[in-house]
């Protein structure tokens, strides 16, 4: 698809809470072990919010870092899109609260929900706005605070997730286009496999009793989602390559959703990608849902694994079910070499 204007990725940012929760800490809460968690998922620790920290506070920090990386004034931002499944409130949107806090005084703002694939959806929307010439500068943020919706007595889920935010700044460019292709998919027939039920209009309703605490938690059929993911990731990567007119061999780095190191390794193997091409931080942060891809991209750039120019495939999957991918070129010169 040819859009009149190119979009350049000029800034990356991220934020995680200071509180570290290790596998050993979780051994005190549920019947689990560091050995089980590391061998089955690759996760060693995760960051969990403390009192006063919210999706919005993490997202603001990530947004400021991306803006600072790009070296732009926030007043030039035309649009903020926030991908989240765990907003502070039903409204105002997380995007509006961020807009008010970062000095994006001329920006439109809205939230988008596609669970762990959210940032890929946000990237595709941002590309349309920039590519059509409607906007010049779009900030997209993936943020989730799943710790507020976890049953800390359920070992099947509580060991997997962490909280965090990741931000990407995109700007119109006459010289180059860094988003070579996006590929978005959804299959609502699998919605029940991964859900946080009963927090919307479904419940409570007139005449009902308030939801039991159990019904407010994240539920997942881990094995079924695993089976879906190991097929969805290679399929989405190949589809985006076809759309971009490149071969899988042309990819320098795989920046996947950080749910489980085994899923990532299986996908990389199927695609014929080498270990050093995988960008992974699931050991440090666990599954941060909508934040995981931009956080991994930021970390890969900040620690010098991804050096410009690099062709990266971002690939996500999760609740909905949703999945999708994007082929991007990282060409920005580092305005500021901040430590991740």
Q: Which residues are catalytic?
A: 116, 257, 287
- The residue (of 189 and 208) whose beta carbon lies closer to ligand UT7 is 189
CB 272 to ligand UT7: min, Å: 22
Contacts of ligand UT7 in 86-145 (CB under 6 A): 116
Q: Kindly tell me the sign of the dihedral angle through the C-alpha atoms of 314, 318, 232, 186.
A: negative
β-strand 137-144 against 164-173: which pairing, if any? Answer: antiparallel
**DSSP code at position 106:** T
Is residue 21 a contact residue for ligand UT7 (CB under 6 A)? no
**Contact at 8 Å (CB) between 191 and 321?**
yes
Taking the CA atoms of the chain, what radius of gyration do you get in angstroms?
19
**Binding residue (CB under 6 A) for ligand UT7 from 44, 136, 155, 219:** 155
Mark 256-272 as b/e (b = at least 16 C-beta within 10 Å). bbbbbbebbbbbbebbe
Q: Is 99 left (phi over 0), alpha (psi -120 to 50) or beta?
A: alpha
Residue number, 86 or 287, with CB nearest to ligand UT7? 287
Q: Is 40 in the site for ligand UT7 (CB under 6 A)?
A: yes
260 scored as a contact of ligand UT7 (CB under 6 A): yes
* Closest distance of CB 301 from ligand UT7, Å: 22
Which residues is 295 bridged to in the sheet? none
Nearer to ligand UT7, 259 or 267 (CB): 259
If binding is defined by CB under 6 A, does position 5 make contact with ligand UT7?
A: no
**Cα–Cα–Cα angle for 93, 19, 149, nearest 5°?**
45
Least Cβ distance, residue 226 to ligand UT7 (angstroms): 4
CB of 220 to ligand UT7, least distance (A): 6
Indicate the residue whose CB is closest to ligand UT7.
Answer: 222
38 binds ligand UT7 (CB under 6 A): no
| 70 contact partners, CB below 8 Å, separation of at least 6 | 10, 11, 169, 171, 332, 335
CB proximity list for 189: less than 8 A, separation 6 or greater: none
The span of 104-112, 135-143, 165-173, 221-229 binding ligand UT7 (CB under 6 A) equals 221-229
* Interface positions with ligand UT7 (CB under 6 A): 32, 36-37, 40-41, 116, 155-156, 159, 194, 222-223, 225-226, 229, 259-260, 263, 287, 289, 318
């Amino acid at each position: 698809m040819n859009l009149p204007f190119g979009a350049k990725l000029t800034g990356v940012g991220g934020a995680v809470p200071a509180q570290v929760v290790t596998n050993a800490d979780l051994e005190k809460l549920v019947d689990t072990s560091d050995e089980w968690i590391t061998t089955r998922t690759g996760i060693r620790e995760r960051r969990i919010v403390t009192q006063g920290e919210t999706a919005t506070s993490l997202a603001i920090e990530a947004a400021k870092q991306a803006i600072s990386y790009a070296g732009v004034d926030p007043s030039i931002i035309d649009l903020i899109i926030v991908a989240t499944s765990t907003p502070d409130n039903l409204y105002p949107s997380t995007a509006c609260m961020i807009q008010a806090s970062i000095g994006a005084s001329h920006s439109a703002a809205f939230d988008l929900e596609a669970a762990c694939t959210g940032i890929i959806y946000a990237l595709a929307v941002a590309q349309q706005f920039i590519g059509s010439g409607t906007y010049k500068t779009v900030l997209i943020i993936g943020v989730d605070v799943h710790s507020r919706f976890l049953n800390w007595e359920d070992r099947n889920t509580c060991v997997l997730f962490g909280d965090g935010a990741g931000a990407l700044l995109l700007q119109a460019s006459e010289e180059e286009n860094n988003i070579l292709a996006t590929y978005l998919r959804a299959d609502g027939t699998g919605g029940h496999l991964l859900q946080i039920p009963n927090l919307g209009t479904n419940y409570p309703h007139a005449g009902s009793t308030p939801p039991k605490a159990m019904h407010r938690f994240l539920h997942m059929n881990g094995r079924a989602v695993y089976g879906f993911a190991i097929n969805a990731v290679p399929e989405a990567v190949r589809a985006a390559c076809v759309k971009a007119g490149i071969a899988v061999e042309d990819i320098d780095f795989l920046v996947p959703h950080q749910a489980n190191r085994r899923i990532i390794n299986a996908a990389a193997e199927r695609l014929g990608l080498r270990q050093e091409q995988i960008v992974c931080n699931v050991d440090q942060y666990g599954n941060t849902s909508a934040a995981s891809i931009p956080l991994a991209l930021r970390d890969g750039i900040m620690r010098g694994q991804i050096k410009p120019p690099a062709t990266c495939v971002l690939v996500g999957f999760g609740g909905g079910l949703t999945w999708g991918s994007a082929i991007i070129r990282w060409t920005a010169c580092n305005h500021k070499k901040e430590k991740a």
